[in-house]
């Protein structure tokens, strides 16, 4: 691949070229993929008009690029390595040939159930090979996949099914997670009872645990009954470059989660290009990303990115703490993993468990370490670098978002000179800028501001499912002609970027995005709750914790309902959004126009009360004192 960056000089040339000769640059990358018909135009549209297109007129199927393309040279190479939850259970391996076969069978299974191009299919599954196979099977038949993380509640699942109008759901009987099982089918049944889910005609259940489940006649079917008899050949559907590939829901600062919509060719090129250049995986390497396929990281860097590059991808069913805090390192040792990609929250948790869990494993196979999902603090970075990477493995601190499709700002392994806690430099094609509150670009280094991207890139979201106006409002209206990330950043004297965190009302808890409004809405469902306000505060392991200020009906005894409030959050969203602290208050600080001043609540939760800033616009400043007195 002549586009693979191999040196700092290559990077500089590629970066310059990507901005100056955008069309020929991406055209050359795209040439190395398999097309049923070449594109007419590499790029058209712009951020101002929200009409971005890449490789318009091209025809392709992403799975032919993930699988068929490799059969000749890599047919017997392992494509997928599956490490089960229980270390003594069977490891599974699929070669490219076997994965191709499995995906074809699953595609035929979907077709036999009436799934057609453009239909939405919801995947609510645990981390088993059949999830990755289902993702690819959807793409092969042209169905739009929408994976919902297995930790979301029935109500959250129902909301997503309703929004995308899924025709079919694939789930597991249950999933293993550490020493627990998650009853996925049961939760799914509960979701499907709701009238919002009327679009669902069929449910395919893959048996993983052997959990007893109820199968609804005419609707529910077992994977094993359908799969085995299918033909192992399935012609890939012809997709237009801009046909929808998937929807993935993510939280914003207001309202319900947004269905982020990605299309086929641009996403494919971006996932493939960024994977190859950031991780620098070579032919015999063994790559492992610990994310769940329910998040974007699992889409781009467990599924599409590695397979598009003919790499071996590892899928892990379990959790970092089971059977003990040495599990990650034991897996690295067992399989001789070369590339390891995880989230800072996991690093911090394992760091807390002590060095012994690391030191008794052989980690000498490791070549590259990666970090994703939240800012990595220097202490965690140093621990990762020194203890896991033995001071020789480069760390790629990759900044990106569900919306960006793939990595945007990151060191390239072994090429970019890294700096602890800095995502460093933009990938080719990415033009980041920092803007001040007025929306003016901050020029020169060092600088600080809100992070925006100045021009369209192939992997960017094309819209929010069913709500193009919300897409424009959320991302493209705050700063004219730019994509607004919602993150703040600093640039040092060398132009390296450090992402400082969200500047909107989105929390990042253990690397999971959670909207404060969603948590508030859930809390407010409790009959005794009058009003609530949720903010984030620094948490040693999770990065951010959730702090909820809650006003309840005076007649009710406060302490009794904390668990019930948590229950509401579990019911409406899922355990990942559980408040860490709940403080009952009698009032919230509001402006004269009735707006809650979150800035103040944030400062109180963060113990930064020395300087509360201007409180003169408050309707009743004494409220602040009272809240501070009751701080937990």
Nearer Cβ to ligand WTA (181/421): 421
Region of 57-65, 104-112, 291-299, 514-522 interacting with ligand WTA (CB under 6 A): 291-299
C-alpha closest to that of 500 among 542, 450, 453: 450
C-alpha closest to that of 189 among 178, 176, 179, 211: 211
Name the closest residue to ligand WTA (Cβ).
Answer: 402
Query: Under 8 Å CB-to-CB from 76, ≥6 apart: which residues?
Result: 95, 96, 97
Backbone φ and ψ of 196, nearest 5°: -60, -20
Q: List the x/- string, 480-499, binding to ligand WTA by CB under 6 A.
A: -----xxx-----------x
- Taking CB under 6 A as the rule, does residue 389 contact ligand WTA? no
Backbone φ and ψ of 453, nearest 5°: -120, 130
- Taking CB under 6 A as the rule, does residue 374 contact ligand WTA? yes
C-alpha closest to that of 299 among 285, 313, 286, 280: 313
Query: Under 8 Å CB-to-CB from 249, ≥6 apart: which residues?
Result: 146, 148, 160, 163, 257, 258, 259, 260
Q: Say if CB 257 and CB 518 are below 8 A apart.
A: yes
- Taking CB under 6 A as the rule, does residue 325 contact ligand WTA? no
Nearer Cβ to ligand WTA (151/375): 375
Q: How many helices (H) does the chain have, and how many strands (E)? A: 21, 30
Site for ligand WTA in 293-312 (CB under 6 A): 295-297
Q: Which of 223, 246, 328, 399 binds ligand WTA (CB under 6 A)?
A: 399
Region of 77-85, 208-216, 372-380, 435-443 interacting with ligand WTA (CB under 6 A): 372-380
> Per the structure block, which two tokens stand in for 344?
């800072």
- Tell me how far apart the alpha carbons of residues 529 and 551 are, in angstroms, rounded to a whole number: 6
Nearer Cβ to ligand WTA (54/484): 484
SS3 state of residue 118: coil
CB of 495 to ligand WTA, least distance (A): 17
> Per the structure block, which two tokens stand in for 241?
């470059």
- Taking CB under 6 A as the rule, does residue 280 contact ligand WTA? no
CB of 82 to ligand WTA, least distance (A): 23
Q: Say if CB 261 and CB 465 are below 8 A apart.
A: yes
- Taking CB under 6 A as the rule, does residue 510 contact ligand WTA? no
> Per the structure block, which two tokens stand in for 460?
């960017």
- Taking CB under 6 A as the rule, does residue 398 contact ligand WTA? yes
Site for ligand WTA in 249-268 (CB under 6 A): 250
Nearer Cβ to ligand WTA (64/163): 163
Q: Which of 22, 126, 401, 474 binds ligand WTA (CB under 6 A)?
A: 401
Q: Which of 373, 458, 536, 574 binds ligand WTA (CB under 6 A)?
A: 373
C-alpha closest to that of 124 among 73, 191, 28: 191
- Tell me how far apart the alpha carbons of residues 613 and 620 are, in angstroms, rounded to a whole number: 15
Nearer Cβ to ligand WTA (256/513): 513
- Taking CB under 6 A as the rule, does residue 518 contact ligand WTA? no
- Kindly report the length of the chain: 632
β-bridge pairing 339-342 and 287-289: parallel
- Taking CB under 6 A as the rule, does residue 453 contact ligand WTA? no
Site for ligand WTA in 407-426 (CB under 6 A): 423
User: Which residues are near ligand WTA by CB under 6 A?
Assistant: 250, 295-297, 371-375, 397-402, 423, 485-487, 499, 501-502, 508, 513
């Amino acid at each position: 691949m002549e586009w693979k960056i191999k040196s700092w000089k290559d990077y500089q040339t590629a970066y310059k070229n990507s901005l100056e000769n955008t069309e020929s640059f991406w055209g050359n990358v795209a040439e190395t993929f398999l097309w049923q018909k070449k594109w007419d135009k590499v790029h058209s549209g712009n951020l101002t008009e929200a009409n971005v297109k890449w490789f318009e007129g091209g025809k392709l199927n992403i799975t032919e690029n993930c699988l068929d393309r490799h059969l000749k040279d890599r047919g017997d190479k392992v494509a997928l390595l599956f490490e089960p939850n229980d270390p003594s259970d069977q490891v599974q391996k699929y070669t490219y040939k076997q994965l191709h076969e499995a995906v074809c069978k699953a595609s035929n299974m979907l077709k036999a159930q009436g799934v057609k191009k453009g239909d939405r299919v919801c995947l609510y599954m645990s981390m088993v090979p059949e999830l990755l196979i289902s993702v690819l099977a959807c793409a092969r038949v042209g169905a739009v996949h929408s994976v919902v993380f297995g930790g979301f509640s029935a109500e959250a699942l129902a909301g997503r099914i309703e929004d995308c109008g899924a025709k079919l759901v694939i789930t597991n009987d249950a999933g293993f997670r550490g020493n627990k099982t998650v009853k996925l089918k049961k939760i799914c049944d509960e979701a499907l009872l709701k009238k919002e889910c009327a679009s669902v005609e069929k449910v395919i259940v893959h048996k993983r645990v052997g959990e007893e489940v109820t199968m609804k006649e005419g609707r529910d079917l077992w994977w094993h009954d359908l799969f085995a008899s299918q033909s192992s050949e399935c012609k890939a559907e012809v997709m237009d470059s801009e046909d929808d590939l998937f929807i993935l829901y993510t939280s914003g600062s207001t309202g319900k989660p947004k269905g982020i919509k990605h299309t086929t060719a641009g996403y494919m090129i971006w996932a493939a290009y960024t994977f190859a250049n950031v991780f620098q995986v070579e032919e015999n390497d063994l790559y492992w990303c610990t994310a769940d396929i329910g998040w974007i990281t699992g889409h781009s860097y467990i599924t599409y990115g590695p397979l598009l590059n003919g790499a071996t991808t590892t899928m892990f069913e379990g959790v970092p703490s089971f059977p003990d805090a040495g599990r990650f390192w034991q897996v690295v040792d067992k399989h001789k993993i070369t590339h390891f990609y995880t989230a800072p929250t996991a690093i911090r948790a394992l760091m807390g468990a002590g060095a012994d869990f690391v030191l008794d494993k052989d980690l000498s196979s490791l070549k590259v370490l990666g970090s994703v999902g939240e800012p990595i603090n220097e202490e965690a970075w140093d621990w990762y670098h020194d203890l896991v990477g033995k001071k020789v493995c480069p760390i790629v601190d990759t900044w990106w978002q569900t919306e960006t499709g793939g990595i945007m700002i990151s060191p390239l392994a072994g090429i970019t000179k890294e700096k602890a806690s800095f995502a460093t430099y933009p990938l080719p094609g990415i033009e980041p800028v920092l803007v001040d509150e007025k929306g003016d670009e901050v020029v020169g280094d060092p600088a600080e501001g809100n992070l925006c991207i100045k021009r369209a890139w192939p992997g960017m979201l094309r819209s929010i499912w069913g709500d193009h106006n919300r897409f424009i409002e959320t991302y493209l209206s705050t700063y004219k002609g730019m994509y607004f990330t919602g993150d703040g950043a600093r640039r040092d004297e060398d132009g390296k970027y450090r992402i400082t965190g969200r500047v909107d009302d989105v929390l990042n808890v253990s690397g999971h995005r959670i909207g404060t409004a969603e948590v508030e809405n859930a809390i407010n469902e409790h009959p005794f709750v009058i009003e609530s306000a949720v903010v984030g505060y620094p948490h040693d392991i999770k990065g951010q914790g959730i702090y909820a200020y809650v006003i309840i009906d005076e007649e009710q005894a406060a302490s009794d309902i904390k668990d019930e409030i948590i229950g509401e959050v579990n019911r409406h969203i899922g355990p990942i959004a559980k408040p860490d602290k709940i403080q009952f208050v009698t009032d919230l600080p509001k402006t004269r126009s009735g707006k809650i001043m979150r800035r103040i609540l944030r400062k109180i939760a963060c113990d930064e009360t020395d300087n509360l800033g201007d409180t003169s616009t408050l309707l009743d400043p004494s409220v602040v004192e009272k809240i501070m007195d009751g701080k937990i």
